[in-house]
Amino acid sequence: MKKIILTVAFFTAATANAQAANLAVITNPPTILNILVFLFACACLFLCSQVLGLVKGGQLSKSWQMFLLGFTLLALSQIASLLHTFEILAVPGFVVPVMMVLMVGLFMYGMYETKRILS
């Protein structure tokens, strides 16, 4: 019974129009730059999580949490930008800049916390 319900739910959800993604834009320099920024953001996420594990709830953990959230927002904004560029998902024009502003705010708050703790 569970399989039937899941199958019906899947086919009901999959009734939208299917269109091919615009993969020709991969070779555009801004798209390549967005992909590189996304990859570097993922690497920074990994490194921040490693450092956050090393500080283990110390005084600097809050600032590293802010850095981790900032890099998460950077990665999410790049994903949203790439999905919009590849025409997979229609993202409103204000979403990516708002995420970038929030990212900068988190970085600034993390830097403020680090300066406050170290001084």
Give domain limits for the chain. Answer: 25-118
- Long-range pairs for 35-43 at CB < 8 Å and ≥24 separation? 35/78, 35/82, 37/74, 37/78, 38/75, 38/78, 38/79, 38/82, 41/71, 41/74, 41/75, 41/78, 42/75
- CB within 8 Å of 39: residues ≥ 6 apart: none
- Predicted confidence (pLDDT) per residue in 21-75, tens digit: 666 677 788 889 999 999 999 999 999 999 999 998 889 999 999 999 999 999 9
Q: Which class for 92: exposed (0-12), middle (13-18), buried (19 or more C-beta within 10 A)?
A: exposed
Cα gap 32→22, rounded to integer Å: 14
Please give the full DSSP string across 64-85, using - where no structure is assigned: HHHHHHHHHHHHHHHHHHHHHH
User: What's this model's pTM, rounded to 2 decimal places?
Assistant: 0.79
Least confident range from 8-12, 26-30, 53-57, 87-91: namely 8-12
Cα gap 38→43, rounded to integer Å: 9
